[in-house]
Amino acid sequence: MDLSIAAILAQDGVSTGAIYALLALALVLVFSVTRIIFIPQGEFVAFGALTLAAMQSDKFPESATLLCALGGLSFAQEAVAILGNQERRRGAGRDLPLAFAKFVVLPGAIYFVTKSVGSAALPLFFQVLLTLAIVVPMGPMIYRLAFQPLAEASTLVLLIVSVGVHLAMLGIGLVIFGAEGSRTTPFSDARFDVGALAVSGQSLVILGVSLALIVALYLYFDRTLSGKALRATAVNRLGARLVGIGTTQAGRLAFTLAAAMGALCGVLIAPLTTVYYDSGFLIGLKGFVGAIIGGLVSYPVAAAGAILVGLLESYSSFWASAFKEVIVFTLIIPVLLWRSLTTRHVDEGEE
């Protein structure tokens, strides 16, 4: 391996590592706020990529239909909760129309906008916005339907539910997108020569968007009231409730941010690799390795670990391409052993 090949592999590793970093941050966010190991994170990657690919192929993305179905189920659940609670029943005249607008009218509007203008003729920027508008609201809806009723359950129960949601979304993805893979139009076809290294415009877009999103998340958690509420919930759920922070709302917000990061990752990687309905699971697992390096609590260490995963994957594909996945996932073993030896074990009931 000469220096030019090493530089090319490093460029590829940093680009993919930036994607894994976003997924790792999303996994850390969801786990710290809700104690849920969010296995379906990868499905949002696949849904984002395949929704955009369907529009660019002049096909109607059936994920918009899925959004309406999830919205209808969420409204039914909310209506039952309002009418079944004596205190909330007094405000039903206000809460029910609001819930109807949020879970039925808004998804229906997105469906009809997609049906009307969601095609290859739409400029790429608006295709991406419409893709995010379809996929991102699924996050809080899935939390409301699958996880909110079990919010106080043990971490093991939440993990089992997370596996069930992953399998359900995998099957739904096969039904609505089919078994064929898809790619999308690159955001940039430009190439820049830096010495002997040719840097693609798409790689720069991925790095730029990833860095901008990481900075935006930092500012959000540090400067905004809702961001500080998420941090408080992550530190101490009971303490957050005692000072008036709604942990249920925090969970929905965490799932919204995780869905947004997952869908955006799918949009970013779709021009570089063929994405299938089940591709997101493997991508999400590599983000999970980065999150584990950060102990599912440290955002900077998780991001750095994800970059390491990207570099390791890139160089492994050169030296031993048949074993690159094995090499990447083997990285988690020494990390788990080290954390097992250095971390004080606390029963869940003592937290």
Q: Please, which pLDDT band fits residue 260 given cuts at 50, 70 and 90?
A: very high
The answer to whether the predicted template modeling score (pTM) of the entire model surpasses 0.85 is yes
- DSSP state letters, 146-201: IIGGGTTS-HHHHHHHHHHHHHHHHHHHHHHH-S--B----S---EEEETTEEEEH
pLDDT digits (tens, 9 = 90+) for 186-225: 887 777 776 667 777 888 888 888 888 888 888 888 888 8
Q: What is the 3-state secondary structure (H, E, C) of 287-326?
A: HHHHHHHCCCCCHHHHHHHHHHHHHHHHHHHHHCHHHHHH
Residue 343 has pLDDT above 90, yes or no: no
Q: Please, which pLDDT band fits residue 152 given cuts at 50, 70 and 90?
A: confident
Query: 3-61+118-180+201-341 sits in which CATH class?
Result: mainly alpha
Q: What is the mean pLDDT of residues 105-126?
A: 91
Amino acid 134: pLDDT: 95
Amino acid 8: pLDDT: 80
Q: Please, which pLDDT band fits residue 171 given cuts at 50, 70 and 90?
A: very high
State the chain's mean pLDDT as an integer.
86
Q: What is the mean pLDDT of residues 8-35?
A: 88
Helices (H), the chain: 3-34, 41-56, 63-84, 86-89, 92-100, 106-117, 124-135, 138-142, 155-177, 201-223, 225-235, 237-242, 247-269, 279-293, 299-319, 324-330, 332-342
pLDDT digits (tens, 9 = 90+) for 279-301: 888 888 888 888 888 777 778 88
Residue 47 has pLDDT above 80, yes or no: yes
**Domain locations in the chain as residue ranges:** 3-61+118-180+201-341
